[in-house]
Structures are given as structure tokens and as C-alpha cells.
Amino acid sequence: MHLPLLDQKELKLSESATLSQKARMLIQQQVSSWDLAKTNYEGLKRVKVRNVEFDNCSIRVQFNPERIRSSAAKVDAKSIQERACFLCARNLPKEQKGILYDDQYLILVNPFPIFNEHLTIPDILHADQDISCRLKDMLLLARELDDFVVFYNGPRCGASAPDHFHFQAGIKGFMPIEEELVNLEEKDLVLPKEGCGIYMTDNYLRKVITVVGEDIEMIAAWMREVIGMLYFLNEDRMEPMMNILCSYDNGEWRVHFFPRRQHRPKQYFDQGEKQILISPASVDFGGVFITPREEDFVKIKASDIEDIFEQVTLSDEDWKRFRVSLLTCL
Ligand SMILES: [Zn+2]
């Protein structure tokens, strides 16, 4: 298979550079040599942002017209089957180059960014978006890319290529959740285990399950447990609807699960004045609401944000059932 890899010399870094440094250099290289990336990263400097404040958190609303592709992406089986997969190496634009990671993933610049530094990290093979056998990959990647938060959008929760496995990564320091949740979750510790803690936070507009710890095997095992418990709340026996954020700092992983009951809120399907074109995925759950249309950016209110989260986050009933399952693990 031919992979469009960036020559090490073009990265202008020594062999000993970290993966984070290489990835950041890749972004610089692509922005200088690929018109689409250049236009869209420069455009990002002009996107409008405003903060909507709540009691214990804030949501940053970003008007980002280029994201219409993702927010309004058709992800039904027929549409997916009929289009050429944009994450397969053979279909990438000729200017797009990447860095091979672990002989399995291709680190690419996301040409339609939300973050100032935004990566898409597809498998080199065309395989379904299914996280179950890649939990440790996510943890290892987060440790290697420690300037970034690595995230996963489930196939029914915002992934615009549900047929081709991919992670994404955004530069740290952008999503409000990175600062906010640490302060909130103290009282939400449900399962203290040696070297690992599991928190359930439900006073944060959306429900969050957080796994924190230093032992990669233990964290991966608990991630598997969490997904297994969510799986059994499902009736359709498919991968539970969820988004996952994962970061690594000072020897510790922090993994946030956002369990879901719905992909898009009713406002997405409303017509006329009532419509708000928002299709929440990991970054929205991380506290940055992406509105591809300016009219939505202007009109969205705190009560709309509360309502949208309420519709898409796990139901109270399933949240209680999850807690019971978790407690039985003690
Ligand atoms: Zn593909």
C-alpha cells in the first residue's frame, strides 16, 4: 500500500523529536504547502466566538462555517456506500501528507479545523469505526501526543466517516472541560481502586464518566468495563452511543466518556426560526459548541444549550442503572 508520508527532512526535526513535536511540525508544513489547509487555518483566526456562562461551567460557542460538512454530514448507510471514502490513503488530496504511527495509523492534518492545531488519525486500513479493540491504542496515542487531547466520535455520534476508523486530536488548552471538570468531580468519585478512580458527574449540563489513573493496563480494563456496562443498557446491541476524550499529563491518563441517547437534537431537524444546526460530538461535549451558521451563533441561548445537552446525554434512568452496575464491581 502506498502511504503519503512526509519526509523526515521536511519536518525539520531530529530523529529524537517527540511525536507531539512532529505532529505540530506536520501542521505547519501542511499549512504552508497545501492551499486548502492554509485557507482554513487562516480562516480559523477570524471565526467568531462567544462564551455562554452557567453556574459551574461555560460553553464557548464557535461560528465556524467550514464545519458544515461535518455537522450536516449524511451518515446513513446508503450515502456512505455511495461516496469515495475520504480517509482512505488512495483518496487523499495529493498535497496531503502524514506521519505513520505504530505501523497502523496515519497522523494527518484536519483540513476543516476547530482547533488551531487539529489532527485526524485514521487507521491505514478501511475498517469500521469501533473502539472496542483500540482502547490501549487510544491511551498510547494520548501519551505520545501529550500536547493534544485525543478524541473519538462513535459511529452514531458525530463521526462523519463511520466506515473508516479514526481518532482525532486537538491541541490542549482549548476545551473548557480540561480545567472545569477537575474541580467538579471531587465529590463524584464512585469507584476508588488502587491506582485508578472512576467518577460520575451529572451536574455539568451533560453526564460524564471519567476514568483516571497511571496504570495503562488498569485504565484500559476499566474503559472496557465502562463500555461493557453501557452496552448492556442498549437494546440494539451495537456499540453504545458515546464520545470519548483522552489526555495524558504528569504520568496520569484522564478519560472522559459522554454516554448518549441521541445523535442530533430536535432543533437540528426543526424548520425556519426554530432550527439550530448543531450536531454535538466530542468537542461540543468538551465545552465548545460549533455552529456552522451565523444565525445560530447569534441566537443560541443558555436555555437552548441546556435543552440540547438534555436531549442527547444519557437518560436519568440509564444513568442510575449504570451507577448500580458500577457499584456491583466493588
Ligand atoms: Zn476508507
Find the Cα–Cα–Cα–Cα dihedral 74, 76, 77, 83, rounded to 10°: -10
Sign of the C-alpha dihedral computed for residues 80, 86, 89 and 91 taken in this order: positive
Distance between Cα 262 and ligand 1 center (Å)? 25
pLDDT digits (tens, 9 = 90+) for 35-67: 999 999 999 988 999 999 999 999 999 999 888
C-alpha separations of 35 from 41, 98, 107, 127 in Å:
10, 16, 19, 29
Residue 160 CA to ligand 1 centre (angstroms): 12
- Residue 210 pLDDT > 90: yes
3-state SS class at 60: strand
- Cα of 329 vs centre of ligand 1, distance in Å, is 38
75 CA distance to ligand 1 centroid (A)?
A: 14
Cα-flanking dihedrals φ and ψ of residue 137, to 5°?
-55, -40
pLDDT confidence bin for 73, thresholds 50/70/90: confident
| pLDDT of residue 288 exceeding 70 | yes
Indicate if the pLDDT at residue 304 is higher than 90.
Answer: yes
User: What is the Å distance from ligand 1's center to 104 Cα?
Assistant: 13
Cα-Cα-Cα-Cα dihedral sign, residues 124, 125, 127, 131:
negative
Do residues 313 and 207 lie in contact, with contact meaning Cβ atoms separated by under 8 Å?
yes
Spell out the residues 6+ positions from residue 194 whose beta carbon is closer than 8 angstroms to its own. Answer: none
Distance 70 CA to ligand 1 centre (A): 16
Measure the CA–CA gap between 138 and 88, rounded to whole angstroms.
Answer: 20
Domains observed in the chain: 8-327 (3.30.428.70)
pTM of the complete model? 0.96
Ligand 1: distance of its center to the CA of 60 in Å? 32
The pLDDT value recorded for residue 248 is: 98
What is the 198 CA–ligand 1 centroid distance (Å)?
A: 34
User: How many other CB atoms are there within 10 angstroms of residue 157's CB atom?
Assistant: 28
| Span from the CA of 88 to the centroid of ligand 1 (angstroms) | 4
| pLDDT tens for each residue of 316-329 | 999 999 999 998 87
Rounded to whole angstroms, how far apart are CA atoms 159 and 151? 11
pLDDT of residue 322: 95
The neighbouring-strand residues paired with 221 are none
Phi, psi of 87 (to 5 degrees): -105, -5
CA of 84 to the centre of ligand 1 (A): 8
d(CA 146, CA 132): 22
pLDDT at 195 over 80: no
